[in-house]
Amino acid sequence: MPDPTPATPEEHPVHPPEPAPAAPAAPAATAPATAEPPPDTLAAHYAQHLAAAQNLAADEVLHFTAEPALMTANVRRGAAAVVALQPALQADLPNADWSAPGRAESLAYAVWHAWKQAAIASNGTGDLAEQVQRIHPVRRLLFAAAEVLVAASLLPSAEVDALRKGRGAVDAATDVDALATLLLVNWTTVQGKVPLDVAAVTQAQADAKALLLRLRPAQRLGDTGKRGEAAVTADVRDRLFTLLVRTYDEVRRVAAYKWLDDASSHVPRLNQRRV
């Protein structure tokens, strides 16, 4: 006959269910690369910052050490994070540069364009006769655009008139370089006033510099001395990168105030792969 006395807990202990095994830790997210924007978008940002980059002293310039797509993705992420903080932190940080996030994103695109120009320059210059043949119609086009802008008092007539005397290939390339530079430096004023986009103007400038370096290798291009085209374009890339580093430092300062040691999780470093 069964014993009616209930079993004590000691005789038949009740064990809680074993906890489910912990899920493996998710790997740190890798920063997604940004798809390359259209060439005219990159060129427009390049033109916006070119004058400031060229004004840097040689001993201020940093060497470019980034991957354009990753760099731009990180800047966009960091800029968005800091812009979101502005309503809450502006009173606490009255001296913060709240325009830095937008400027940093624009500079990232400018650096990307300059990096492409430097990469193209390092891959050779093509057929010389073809380059000479192409430069003359480009010169005529840029002069026509410049004349319209002079008539509208948007460009100084003296700078344009000074370029009219040349006839040969060297003069044509020099004129194209000078006219393209004049347009780019004044791009915010002349944009939309002539049937040229900034990508076409920057390409004309790059083609002119390449031709000059083949026709007169020892010719000085601005303050760049006797270096080849690849070095010229790399110098512009490095200068724009220097401006980006300085500007993004302002963005990261705000992040450090808000998130302290965790700032890089929200505003990643330029080359940071995991966030």
Q: pTM for the whole thing? A: 0.60
* pLDDT over threshold 60, residue 90: yes
**Cα–Cα distance between 259 and 157 in angstroms, integer?**
53
Which amino acid would we find at residue 232? V
Mean pLDDT of the chain: 81
Domains in the chain: boundaries: 45-120+236-266, 123-229
* pLDDT over threshold 80, residue 43: yes
pLDDT for 168-178, tens place per residue? 778 888 889 88
119 DSSP β-pair partners: none
If you write DSSP's letter for every residue of 147-201 in order, what string do you get?
Answer: HHHHHTTSS-HHHHHTTSS--SHHHHHHHHHHHHHHHHHTHHHHTTSSS--HHHH
Greatest extent of the chain over all pairs of C-alpha atoms, in Å: 125
